[in-house]
Structure 1
């Protein structure tokens, strides 16, 4: 299956984990070759208005750049880094670890593993407490 289609499925799981209050963290990793950009970390950020955005931290060899995006904007930004340079994305939540990978034939795959984190991220828990996300 083309990796773009599988990434849409993966990102729907990200949305589901936020809506269910189980989100811990999201990371893009494993680059093609030696690149300046090493990782992209995605975390939740609560807005003063009561909503939330996704904070994307792009970690380069010498600096980190943080930007804030709506859920849909973050999908577009993260999609632009697939195969350029990242081939793996990892979703960590309290129910499972979900790994998205792109192989050499440009096919995408999803792999579930037992959860690394027993608790959702502190910001996720705060969003639940404040009623920003209702489960």
Structure 2
């Protein structure tokens, strides 16, 4: 898969934001055409004392939730890059990082100022225990 390496590079920033307590949320968006799957929202959860990721698949008519390890989440999400999603946005308390494919499928990773002032409460609780 052509996009796998660049997405995995992007995902290292996700893991770093989890480790340093700045992660707010991760969203896959901007679908190609009219698809049933509209977004994937990712947030941290604690299950049996282990930090994991909750993936909420937002369809036009329903939502589905899956919980995965932090590393496995990367493998699940990369399957949806370019089919159907054209972007992934990492929101942290320090910056927003956008992974984006253009019409020619060229990858760009753009860092902007932060949208969120607070990290995920679940993450902060987990790190401060």
Q: What is the TM-score normalised by the length of structure 1? A: 0.91
SS across alignment from 1:35:
coil
- The superposition leaves residues 20-44 of structure 1 with CA deviations (integer Å, 9 ceiling, x where unpaired) of 1100000000000010000000000
Q: What is the TM-score normalised by the length of structure 2? A: 0.95
Task: Please tell me whether the aligned partners of residues 97 and 114 of structure 1 are also in contact (alpha carbons under 8 angstroms).
Answer: yes
Instruction: Tell me if 1:65 matches 2:64.
Output: yes
Supply the distance in 2 between the matched residues of 1:52 and 1:128 (Cα, whole angstroms). Answer: 9
What residue ranges of structure 1 are gaps of 5+ in the alignment?
131-135
Supply the distance in 1 between the matched residues of 2:8 and 2:89 (Cα, whole angstroms). Answer: 14
Instruction: Tell me if 1:13 matches 2:10.
Output: no
Q: What is the deviation of 1:105?
A: 2.3
Partner of 2:104: 105
SS across alignment from 1:116:
coil
Runs of 4 or more off by more than 2 Å in structure 1?
A: 2-5
Task: Please tell me whether the aligned partners of residues 3 and 102 of structure 1 are also in contact (alpha carbons under 8 angstroms).
Answer: no
Q: What is the deviation of 1:107?
A: 1.8
Count of residues paired in the alignment: 128
What residue ranges of structure 2 are gaps of 5+ in the alignment?
none
SS across alignment from 1:91:
strand
Supply the distance in 2 between the matched residues of 1:124 and 1:70 (Cα, whole angstroms). Answer: 14
Supply the distance in 1 between the matched residues of 2:74 and 2:36 (Cα, whole angstroms). Answer: 22
Supply the distance in 2 between the matched residues of 1:11 and 1:62 (Cα, whole angstroms). Answer: 29
Supply the distance in 2 between the matched residues of 1:47 and 1:126 (Cα, whole angstroms). Answer: 13
Partner of 1:45: 45
Partner of 1:120: 119
Task: Please tell me whether the aligned partners of residues 26 and 91 of structure 1 are also in contact (alpha carbons under 8 angstroms).
Answer: yes
